[in-house]
């Protein structure tokens, strides 16, 4: 039996977590997948129960889990809290060594009209952004005085090597192309980044490696996004570019993500926020959460059939014109979830 820790969090988090688990249970019955759920407080909910967004018992449970599902965290009521909900997310990434953030970018045919790009620009778009998540400038030394500030961006060869291997392994199962993004014409960390990328590429002779400077890559992601297969980059650049790529489908409501460690449990979550303005209204789009469940089935448990079952059901539901309000439709959270289950 597999243990899955759920972190419903704040805002619409509990609503979409319920939806995701309903779909998960329906699929589990079809593929005979045996599991147990352990729900824990996290984010603002953690602050309410223990005074910290990552309570000790939540972290302990996460460390012993086979996989972790996170819905959403954050609320305006915690804006002035001594420790904000978002700090819990940084803490769990560090504690579990979740060094690789994976964001697939796919355009659903039924939602093409929502993209800000012309139809011909997004034709064939299907790529993955692999972001290094526990190193770089976010985790370096930060110094702030009245007249100056300094943020240290530091990477070791081993940190770069492991994220590169993750990207190449993913590419090997796709179209066998890796685009490594850096700023090697200026930054020392990027010079090392490119050097290690070339070294790792020799381990994957069947995968093609190309390099792009981050400013050029940002433009190509808008002008010709279909040219990418697997994009790999450091923490800061990955933060920016993964958010840029998230607008290509025209909505955050259909995009899942995963964060992996080298040997411990992985964490799966929607890329959108907690949407406190619609929390409790029952109108949140659950698709990102549901597709995060599909990623979990495939990546953590090797249940490819179950993952594909969910993805096909989501696509069929959208093709049928069943859309939540953020997608221009009238379906509420329960109706969308029920439709996806019916299409499994």
pLDDT at res. 80: 83
pLDDT at res. 79: 84
User: Quick check: is 243 catalytic?
Assistant: yes
Look up the pTM and report it. Answer: 0.93
pLDDT at res. 150: 97
pLDDT (average), residues 307-317: 98
Least confident of 80-84, 160-164, 298-302, 331-335: 80-84
Reported as a single tens digit per residue, the pLDDT across 218-232 is 999 999 999 999 999
Reported as a single tens digit per residue, the pLDDT across 240-259 is 999 999 999 988 889 999 99
pLDDT (average), residues 29-35: 97
Across all residues in the chain, what is the average pLDDT?
96
Contact call for residues 275 and 251 (beta carbons, < 8 A): no
DSSP secondary-structure letter at 303?
-
Contact call for residues 96 and 72 (beta carbons, < 8 A): no
pLDDT (average), residues 159-187: 97
pLDDT band of residue 86 (cuts 50, 70, 90) is confident
> For residue 272, is it left (φ>0), alpha (ψ between -120 and 50) or beta?
beta
Alpha helices in 75-187 (DSSP H): 85-95, 119-122, 157-172
Reported as a single tens digit per residue, the pLDDT across 89-131 is 989 998 999 999 999 999 999 999 999 999 999 999 999 999 9
DSSP secondary-structure letter at 109?
G
User: Quick check: is 151 catalytic?
Assistant: no
Start-to-end CA span in the chain (Å): 23
Q: Is the pLDDT of residue 83 over 90?
A: no
Reported as a single tens digit per residue, the pLDDT across 170-180 is 999 999 999 99
pLDDT band of residue 4 (cuts 50, 70, 90) is very high
For 4, 73, 99, 116, 325, the CA distances from 59, given in Å and listed in that order, are 13, 16, 17, 40, 35
pLDDT band of residue 298 (cuts 50, 70, 90) is very high
- DSSP strands (E only) in 133-228: 142-144, 149-151, 177-182, 208-213
pLDDT band of residue 38 (cuts 50, 70, 90) is very high
User: Quick check: is 215 catalytic?
Assistant: yes
Catalytic choice (138, 177, 191, 334): 138
3-state secondary structure of 7: strand
Burial bucket for residue 268 (CB in 10 Å: 0-12, 13-18, 19+):
buried
3-state secondary structure of 319: helix
Catalytic choice (30, 56, 243, 281): 243
pLDDT at res. 81: 81
Structure tokens at 116: 């800000």
Structure tokens at 269: 């979550």
Catalytic choice (183, 204, 268, 326): 183
pLDDT at res. 157: 98
Task: Tokens 């699929």: give the residue.
Answer: 27
Reported as a single tens digit per residue, the pLDDT across 73-82 is 998 888 888 8
Q: With pLDDT > 90 as the criterion, what percentage of the chain qualifies?
A: 92
pLDDT at res. 200: 98
Contact call for residues 170 and 126 (beta carbons, < 8 A): no
Cα separation of 222 and 281, whole Å? 34
Task: Tokens 């939806």: give the residue.
Answer: 19
pLDDT band of residue 236 (cuts 50, 70, 90) is very high
- Across 126-146, b (16+ Cβ under 10 Å) vs e yields ebbbbbbbbbbbbbeeeeeee
Nearest one of 70, 64, 41 to 53, comparing CA atoms: 41
Cα separation of 4 and 57, whole Å? 15
Cα separation of 180 and 311, whole Å? 28
């Amino acid at each position: 039996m597999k243990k899955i820790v759920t972190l419903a969090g704040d805002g619409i988090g509990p609503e979409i977590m319920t939806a995701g688990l309903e779909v998960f249970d329906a699929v589990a019955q079809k593929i005979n997948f045996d599991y147990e759920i352990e729900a824990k407080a996290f984010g603002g909910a953690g602050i309410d129960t223990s005074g910290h967004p990552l309570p000790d018992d939540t972290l302990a449970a996460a460390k012993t889990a086979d996989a972790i599902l996170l819905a959403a965290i954050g609320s305006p009521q915690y804006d002035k809290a001594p420790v904000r909900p978002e700090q819990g997310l940084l803490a769990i990434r560090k504690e579990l060594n979740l060094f690789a953030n994976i964001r697939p970018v796919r355009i659903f045919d039924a939602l093409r009209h929502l993209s800000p790009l012309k139809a011909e620009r997004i034709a064939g778009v299907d790529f993955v952004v692999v972001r290094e998540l526990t190193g770089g400038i976010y985790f370096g030394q930060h110094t702030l005085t009245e007249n100056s500030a300094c943020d240290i961006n530091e990477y070791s060869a081993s940190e770069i090597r492991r994220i590169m291997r993750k990207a190449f392994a993913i590419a090997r199962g796709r179209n066998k192309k890796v685009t490594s993004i850096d700023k090697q014409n200026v930054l020392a960390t990027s010079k090392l980044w490119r050097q290690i990328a070339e070294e790792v590429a020799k381990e994957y002779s069947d995968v093609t490696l190309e390099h792009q400077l981050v400013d050029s890559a940002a433009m190509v992601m808008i002008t010709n996004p279909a040219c990418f297969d697997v994009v790999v980059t450091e923490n800061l650049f990955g933060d920016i570019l993964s958010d840029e790529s998230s607008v290509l489908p025209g909505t955050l409501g259909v995009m899942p993500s995963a964060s992996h460690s080298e040997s411990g449990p992985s964490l799966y979550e929607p890329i959108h926020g907690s949407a406190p303005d619609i929390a409790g209204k029952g109108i949140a789009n659950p698709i990102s959460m549901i597709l995060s469940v599909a990623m979990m089935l495939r990546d953590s448990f090797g249940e490819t059939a179950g993952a594909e079952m969910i993805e096909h059901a989501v696509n069929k539901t959208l093709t049928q014109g069943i859309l939540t309000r953020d997608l221009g439709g009238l379906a509420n959270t329960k109706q969308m979830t029920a439709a996806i289950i019916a299409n499994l």
